[in-house]
Structure 1
Amino acid sequence: MIKIIGITPILFFLCSCSLHYMDAPPPSQNQYWIKSGHSLELINVALISCGYDEPRWSVEQQEKVDICMLRKGFVFRDSPYGKVHARCTYPPYQHLPSCQSMKK
């Protein structure tokens, strides 16, 4: 019984660590891309020049933007929150160039 009481706080602590970003909003498109010396504003400019258009967003458009951003030297990171809100874990996105670039 004493072992169970001793383990319970540890389990609660470990569970709370994994839920840290659970209620965080999904990252905006500019938070998925990084490049040395580029601010979020410069990343937004690059996204727009690659055809990013939030109101009419589709997986097909994402593929075109991914190819363009990768060619410009940007690196894709699936989520700034770790595993929470990771786009590449969802089947419709796994084939995208951005997700494939992470496997190299």
Structure 2
Amino acid sequence: MGKKILVSFAIFLNGCLGYKPFQPPPSGSEIWKKEGASEAMVTLALLECGSREPRGRVPGLQETETVNDDVLTRLCMEKSGFTSDSQYSAANFCQMLGNKPTACNPGIVPPTRDVSRRLNSQFCKAFPDADVCH
């Protein structure tokens, strides 16, 4: 009987605290914020900064983004005026990495947004009718 009460209490607490175990990490368009920017504008910027899957893991897209690519995308987003929780910043991400990619080196010049990078992205090839691919 005691185990049932304990399990019931754990489930109750779980629901009350809003804890959701086994949730995927947030997508790039959920992480990055900028005053007045819609989710579509964030997705557009992510693609122009080189993100392969700006809306999270998309079935059918081969994930080919390297850690170095990820850092460069973060640097580009920050250079473009977007912010995120500190855990997602390029500096904190580089600090967490044991084997640092080239993009973590001091003095690296962040890439700038590029429309052709967005239009030629794997995402836009897979989803040419997406609003950000025109």
TM-score normalised by structure 2 residue count: 0.46
Query: What are structure 2's unaligned runs of at least 5 residues?
Result: 1-5, 54-62, 95-134
Over the matched positions of the two proteins, sequence identity in percent amounts to 28
CA positional deviation for 1:26? 2.1
Q: Does 1:96 align with 2:98?
A: no
Q: Deviations over 1:26-74 (max 9, x none)?
A: 2111111011111111001100111111331221111101111001110
Aligned length: 81
Query: What are structure 1's unaligned runs of at least 5 residues?
Result: 1-7, 79-87
Moved over 6 A (4+): 8-12
- Superposed CA RMSD: 3.2
TM-score normalised by structure 1 residue count: 0.57
Determine which of 69, 72, 81 is the counterpart of 1:64: 72
Are residues 34 and 98 of structure 1, via their aligned partners in 2, closer, same or farther at CA, if it must alter by over 3 Å?
Answer: farther
Aligned to 2:20: 21
Q: 1:3-18, aligned counterparts within 5 Å?
A: 13-18=12-17
